[in-house]
Structure 1
């Protein structure tokens, strides 16, 4: 067995011992859990770089996947690094072993040592995490914005970041590009929760005139309101259907005008009560 094969076996065995042997492998303050086929190890910020080195050298996680963070209100920023140990393709072996290394830094002191010395691919991920959350990575050679435009204020993925999507365009009632100006009354401008005043935050800060004050609503005098008629069961009108006026009786049948020759009264249907027989005729 070669030295590389021996190291691979040792790394696989060490990985299989987790999460029970987490304190033995990552230190006394480390914790681990297994969920959804993913092994997660939490370490204190002071052990961040050492934990990444242990994952690379001791567990064989030489593949760096991604690094990011999550803002946990009341707790801090939880920085995560997803790593993997790839199997040897020249021989049948185990599947990919995945590992998530996490640590938590407080909001007021969001600083971590850079992981570039362990995984060179973490450079761009740390730049993105820095601009999106405001977390500083000591030792990073070029910690400048990666995605956001120059002069952008704030960190968009923080939970306390104001919703700036409506700053450039009022909400609601604003016109889309190309809509005609029909001159009709505009809807009252409203700001949903989390949207700041565009004259206090954003690219138009201090450049807009103050918003006009909305006039106070006055109550309508009671004399201007029409009286409403209410129905109740006591007045006998509730629950009754309208009754049609009585129909005047038609002419009575005579010998010269039997039932079937009497014109029906409008709105009624004549129904003969006797068989059609001629006057004075025989029934036989």
Structure 2
């Protein structure tokens, strides 16, 4: 397929290759191809080798509670100035997916970050070790159920809540930040 192929040709090529196994959608002029996890590395290789998407831009996760984590990669055809979003979803309870480092070397760092922030294990990755968080850190900070302890332990340095201005007005209970359980961080007694 030539690099000058238009966006409808991307759709046709993906349909010819994957048929009903690919879900195509478009948003803001960008085509998204979503496949099952077992087709993930094949989709990336097809995008690179047959569609001309030789530039790997980025890869990340998207937490989709209650049961999925989506993995999304953005690739680009430099000569044809075309974009393609590759997407799949893994089980949130045991998130595993084949690595794309054999297809796009640039996926290495992005997969390490996605592993660390979302807990997605990339099978076959050459060096899946922590990248950003300190040693011994527990949890996955970009999952929606991760409690941001700093929001509870340290008050927000902004406008005062009613009752904090020093005037004799009724004081109301301070609301907890989103995602914090109601009994988390409350003093016992």
2-structure distance, mates of 1:108, 1:31: 24
- Number of equivalences: 172
Pairing 1:143–2:128 present: yes
Higher strand fraction (1 or 2): 2
Aligned CA-pair RMSD: 2.6
Pairing 1:85–2:77 present: yes
Which residues in structure 2 correspond to 1:180-259 (within 5 Å)?
192=176, 194=180, 196-197=184-185, 211=187, 213=189
Unaligned runs of 5+ in 2: 158-170
Pairing 1:153–2:150 present: no
Question: CA distance change for structure 1 residues 191 and 36 in 2, over 3 Å: closer, same or farther?
Answer: closer
Pairing 1:66–2:58 present: yes
SS in structure 1 of the partner of residue 117 of structure 2: helix
Which residues in structure 2 correspond to 1:1-284 (within 5 Å)?
9=2, 11-13=3-5, 15-87=7-79, 94=80, 96-166=81-151, 169-171=153-155, 192=176, 194=180, 196-197=184-185, 211=187, 213=189
1:154-183 Cα distance to aligned partner (Å, 9 max, x none): 10100111122235x34479xxxxxxxxxx
Cα deviation, residue 190, structure 1: 5.9
Question: CA distance change for structure 1 residues 171 and 145 in 2, over 3 Å: closer, same or farther?
Answer: same
Contact 2:53 2:78 (C-alpha < 8 Å) held by counterparts:
yes
Question: CA distance change for structure 1 residues 172 and 113 in 2, over 3 Å: closer, same or farther?
Answer: closer
2-structure distance, mates of 1:109, 1:170: 33
Q: Which has the larger radius of gyration?
A: 1
Q: TM-score, normalised by structure 2?
A: 0.80
